[in-house]
Amino acid sequence: MSKFTFKQFSIIQDKTAMKVGVDGVMLGAWADVESAENILDVGTGTGLIAIMLAQRNHTAYIDTVEIDEMAYKQAVENANNCKWKERINVIHNKFQSFAKTVQKRYDLIVSNPPYFIASLQSPKVQRTLARHSELLTQDDLICGVENILTEKGKFCAIFPYIEANIFIAKAAAVNLFCNKKTNVKTKPEKPVKRILLEFSRTKQKLLETTVCIENSERHAYTNEYKMLTKDFYLKF
């Protein structure tokens, strides 16, 4: 599918290896944007999450960083086509370099990162880069976030189950604490597939919840998933 249409915008995705997916939509709908003035989307891909956050927060300015040239061009195209283009800035850079040189500090940083630490690699180079952590390791991501997050800022990301728990431990070592955690299951009887995580510099009591995407029948979406994504998906 070369274009994915949401309620208030569309995502053109013919140039990128990683298409619109459930992970990105859930993160864009879940991240706390309420008090953010400056937002950063790390590894923006098509620009989906940045545009979702612009829809949810009517005043925030959103920077995005993307290393892949084709994905960068696609994100620029999508940002320019949406109604919030004046507040979205797409940057073609490596996050490690960006985090060392940028003067701005961010109230909210989000990332649907390259997450598979050790797994079979895709034969398609772009998809490999998007799905594996060789170019942006967990340590690199944590270091960059710690450097440019405001004192009261939040960092939100989505990971597979194993990688999420590794990331929580590594982040805590530099005083980035996981305070909110939403386990994602495809169906009630299935194990946790993804985990949505929120971090801050202040340790708080962990708020842990679980969201199931579907009931036991295929395409029978749960009310909780519909409530989370209803402002975006046409079918809800």
Minimal CA–CA distance to 53: which of 72, 69, 37?
37
Q: How far apart are CA 178 and CA 168, in angstroms?
A: 6
pTM over 0.75: yes
CATH T-level assignment (fold) for domain 19-229: Rossmann fold (3.40.50)
**Domain range annotation of the chain:** 19-229
Count of beta carbons in the 10 Å neighbourhood of residue 68 = 22
Give bridge partners of residue 108 from the DSSP assignment.
Answer: 39, 154
Residue 132: the pLDDT is: 41
DSSP per-residue string spanning 38-96: EEEEES-TTSHHHHHHHHH-SS-EEEEEE-SHHHHHHHHHHHHHSTTGGGEEEEES-HH
Residue 115: the pLDDT is: 62
Helix H or strand E segment including 127: helix 125-131
Tens-level pLDDT at each residue, the chain (236 residues)? 789 999 999 999 998 877 899 999 999 999 999 999 999 999 999 999 999 999 999 999 999 999 999 999 999 999 999 999 999 999 999 999 999 999 999 999 999 987 644 444 444 544 444 444 457 899 999 999 999 999 999 999 999 999 999 999 999 999 999 999 999 999 999 999 999 999 999 999 999 999 999 998 888 999 999 999 999 999 99
